Chains A and B, each alone.
Chain A
Amino acid sequence: MTDGHPILEIDHVSRSYAENGKEFRVLEDISFQVHDRDFTCIVGPSGCGKSTLLREIVGLDRPTSGRILFDGEPVRAEDTRVSMVFQSFALFPWLTVTQNVQLGLEAHKVPEEERQSKAKKYIEAVGLAGFENAYPRELSGGMKQRVGIARALVMDPLLLCMDEPFSALDALTAQNLRDEILALWTNPDLPPSAVLMVTHSIDEAVYLADRVVALSARPGRIVKVEQIDLPRPRNRKEPEFYGWVDEIYSLIV
């Protein structure tokens, strides 16, 4: 499915932290591209720097060396073309669903009416119609993450970045949300155009992704970038599916 042009370019990125005067390497010489209309997954063992990499891509952190270019330019965190979904949801507990979803629009000075109609549209798109005025504490985990997704989509991003968005959810809810994310991504009328997702579950990566970027244990290096060309919807019971899972598993461990 990789027919889009590259929109994100990660170019020899390394990241290290100073700890007790010593250099502590987290990421080492990471290079890959994310293409438009692609679903890309980054997998790797815990602590290998996946979250660090994603935070650098959305502009929350700067690499020690190397460049990250979005559409040929460095990304700033508040750039609306790149949006983010958090593992812990990161909803503001004192704001209603609508207010949470509108947060970015408010920050970017979108007029009130447009804000309202856009928020309504995306709250419906993630299946939360009727909960507009609920507070996060009144929602289940799956519903909270739906708010998180609506909050990111309402910015009309080209690239949606997600850091283990389903790992805090139970298995059934997580599977439902995976299918819904796929549906949103394939819908040409709705953003996002491309998805970049971090996960530690190889099964999840093979189920969702066109391309899987496999990282080694710390310091994270790219072991391999795999092109998964299974047709969708994918079936976990097919031998091709677990063939892929086994192969990526053997790469990482």
Chain B
Amino acid sequence: MAVGRKELRALAVALIALAVVAAVLVPSAAFTAGYLALIAFFSTVRMTLAFLLSLVFAIAYGTAAATNKRAGEFLIPILDILQSVPILAFFPPALLFFVYSFNGNVIGVEFAVIFLIFTSMSWNMAFGVYEALTTLPADLREAATVFGVRDWLRFRRLFFPATIPKLVYNSMLSWTVGWFYLVASEAITTGAFTRERPGLGSFIYDAGQRGDLASIVVGIGVLAIVVLLLDTFLWRPLSVWSERFRMEQTAGGPVSRMPWGYERLRWLPRFPRIRRWIAARLAPLAHGWNRAATPLDRFYVSHPRVIRSVRWLDLSMFLVILASVVVTGVVGIAAIFLSPLPSLASEIPVAVLASLGRLVLAYLVALGWTVPVAAWVAHNERASRLITPVLEVVASIPATALFPLIIAFSVLAVGAFGLEAELAAFLVSLFAMQWYLLFNLIAGMRSLPGDMREAAKVFGLRGWTYWKRVLLPAMTPSLLTGSITAWGAGWNALIVAEYISYAGHVYQVGAGIGYLIAYATYTPGDHGRLLLLSVLALVLVVLAMNKLLWRPIIRRASDRFRIEIQ
């Protein structure tokens, strides 16, 4: 994309002029545009606050789990479970804690929305911190010990910098997931009532309820613009910067892969001047942090008792939270089994199987098109330059925002057989899974060393032999990484895929665990126990799949291919 600065400037001027003319001619459109910009701003602020919360949580949790062996033994399984809990399961506690305790006050609803976004962003970031610290080279740790670098200084000089590459990579992933669930988070619906806060998510939700296709398309467009702007001005510079904190590869080690988040940004124009301007504004902040850190260091030294008591407070707080979670869980499970089961509970086994089948199908279809496309893009510079930007833009639109299009297409295609809900559920799952596969595969195939490719050419490897001996082995690690992420996203997406409410009509599948969870959440009536049971079933299935399928495969693959799974 060799767009010159001049052309860009001309384009910007033309767009602004057009906007001014349009605003003068059609004042109502100008009003709408202003409104859209405002709600886009609101949504971004909410995402940012949730992200900052996730950041603090992830660093504290991941560091504790990685540096304290005993703590890690139970912190990591807990994180495993939390990651597999679908976002809808957090609706009741969010309502309970924030909405009811604030008497339905706006502030309470805002807290609830931010909390829900937080639950979709934070777990993978905590895992990233944990992995970065557990793979920290032992000699760096020992050097820190030998030179007396401890506690606060060790965190500042060793642990925190070491987590930056994984933290940035996972932050990008978290933002993608956050946008995906924004629609669900900004319109908290349980049973008979809905609590909404103005934002892009609720805008799209409302438009969907009205069946207002034009507004939906506009909402999606604005969302795509926000995502692209953030990518260009925030995530792209950040991921370049984070490369500085990567451990050096020793010769003969495995080839380092660029995270796909970075790959996907490569084509964007660079805007060097704007970025320099931002950097100049941010520089004092960085200095400020250093200046602020020095008194913090001093405080640390002079007040060891305060620090120790803070740590005790931390520990006791965690224990209280843990205890309340355990008690709630035990009481809830006891309540489930002490009284007769809700009638729908008997459907859970069939529902799980149906959902599994749906995801397997979506996974196979995704695999079927992403593998050849990734190979083609990785082997063809021109194709890559043309196709990648298009794929980026399409992938940046969360599937949840595409509901209307998906529904319209499904009704048109198989509505005559009454299968529109099934097709829509399949499509949403496909959209939730496929991008992780595609971008991981492209990154994986790109990392294939050039001399290996040339060796294959010299020895005349072509066709199927080339695939079998070169491409498939080379892409196995990234295929695994992509598959695991895709399946995680797929399970979580079921709750929005199997139960779609659009234009006053509910499109629900015949059987599905996501449908049961969404049904228990959204329809009026007392479905608390059904919700708890089906969430439990989903969590168990996801955990079982991780333990019994992915872990053994990873272990096998890492023996053979010496790979690192993100």
Would you give the 0/1 interface string for A89-114, flagging 1 where the beta carbon is closer than 8 Å to chain B?
Answer: 01011110000000110111100000
- Is there an interface contact between B248 and A137, defined as CB atoms closer than 8 Å? yes
* Separation of A84 and B144 alpha carbons in the complex (Å): 11
In the assembled complex, A58 has its CB within 8 A of some CB on chain B: yes
Interface check A136, CB cutoff 8 A: yes
Give A87 to B148 CA distance when docked, in angstroms: 19
Asked whether B459 is an interface residue with its Cβ less than 8 Å from the other chain, the reply is no
Q: Is the CB of B137 within 8 A of A90?
A: yes
Give min CB distance, A207 to chain B, whole Å.
25
With A92-B157, A94-B161 as contacts: A60 and B137 at CB distance below 8 Å: no
- A-contact 0/1 string along B127-171, CB 8 Å cutoff: 000000000010110111111111001000110010010000000
CB-CB under 8 A for A104 and B149, given A90-B143, A95-B157: yes
> B158: shortest Cβ distance to chain A, in Å?
7
A86 on the B face (CB < 8 A)? yes
Q: Which of chain A's residues have a CB closer than 8 A to the CB of B139?
A: 86-88, 90
Q: Does A146 contact B (CB under 8 A)?
A: no
Q: How far is the CA of A46 from the CA of B533 in the complex (A)?
A: 58
User: Is there contact, CB below 8 Å, between A86 and B150?
Assistant: no
A45 to B125 Cα, complex, angstroms: 44
Stretch in contact with the other chain, from A28-36, A75-83, A192-200: A75-83
Closest to B298 in A: A109
Report A-chain residues with C-beta under 8 Å of the C-beta of B153.
106-107
**Cβ A77 vs Cβ B145 within 8 A:** yes
Partner-contacting stretch, out of B239-247, B462-470, B497-505: B239-247
Q: How large is the interface on B (under 10, 10 to 19, 20 to 34, 35 or more residues)?
A: 20 to 34
Residues of A within 8 Å of B144, CB to CB, are: 103
Main secondary structure of the interface of A (DSSP, over half): loop
Whether B248 pairs with A60 at a CB distance below 8 angstroms is no
Residue of B140, B244, B301 with most partner-chain A CB within 10 A: B140
Any chain B CB within 8 A of the CB of A15?
A: no
A155 near B142 with CB under 8 A, answer no
Nearest CB in chain B: distance from A216 CB, A:
26
Is B244's CB under 8 angstroms from A94's CB?
yes
**Nearest CB of B to A220, in Å:** 20
* A67 located at the interface, meaning its Cβ lies under 8 Å from any Cβ of chain B in the complex: no
How far apart are B523's CB and chain A's nearest CB, in angstroms? Answer: 53
Q: Which residues of chain B come closer than 8 Å to A86, judged between CB atoms?
A: 139, 142-143
Across the interface, do B245 and A94 meet the contact criterion of CB distance under 8 Å? Answer: yes
Bitwise, A39-82 to B at CB < 8 A (1) or not (0) is 00000000000000001001110000000000000000110100
**Which residues of chain A come closer than 8 Å to B161, judged between CB atoms?**
92, 94
User: Which of A55, A92, A95, A108 makes the CB contact (< 8 A) with B148?
Assistant: A108
Q: How far is the CA of A80 from the CA of B147 in the complex (A)?
A: 7
CA separation between A93 and B245, bound complex, in Å? 7
Cα–Cα distance between A103 and B149 once the two chains are bound (Å): 7
A131 at the interface (CB under 8 A from B): no
Q: What distance in Å separates the Cβ of B195 from its nearest Cβ neighbour in chain A?
A: 44
- A107 and B149 contacting across the interface, CB-CB below 8 Å: yes
A77 to B137: give the CA distance in the assembly, Å: 18
Give Cα A222–Cα B316 distance, bound, in whole angstroms.
51
Q: Tell me if A93 and B248 are in contact (CB < 8 A).
A: yes
Residues of B within 8 A of A93 (CB): 244-248
A79 to chain B: closest residue by CB: B148
A196 to chain B, nearest CB (A): 14
Q: Are B244 and A84 in contact (CB under 8 A)?
A: no
Name the distance in Å between A160's Cβ and chain B's nearest Cβ: 12
Contact digits for A128-165, partner B, Cβ 8 Å, 1 yes 0 no: 00000001110000000000000100010000000000
Taking the nearest CB of chain A, how far is it from the CB of B277, in angstroms?
25
Which positions in B face A, CB cutoff 8 Å? 137, 139-140, 142-150, 153, 157-158, 161, 164, 244-248, 250, 301
Residues of A within 8 A of B (CB): 55, 58-60, 77-78, 80, 83-84, 86-88, 90, 92-95, 103-104, 106-109, 135-137, 151, 155
Given contacts A80-B148, A94-B245, 18 further A-B contacts (CB under 8 A): A60-B142, A78-B145, A78-B146, A86-B143, A88-B137, A88-B139, A88-B250, A90-B142, A92-B157, A93-B244, A93-B248, A94-B161, A94-B164, A103-B143, A103-B144, A103-B147, A103-B149, A107-B150
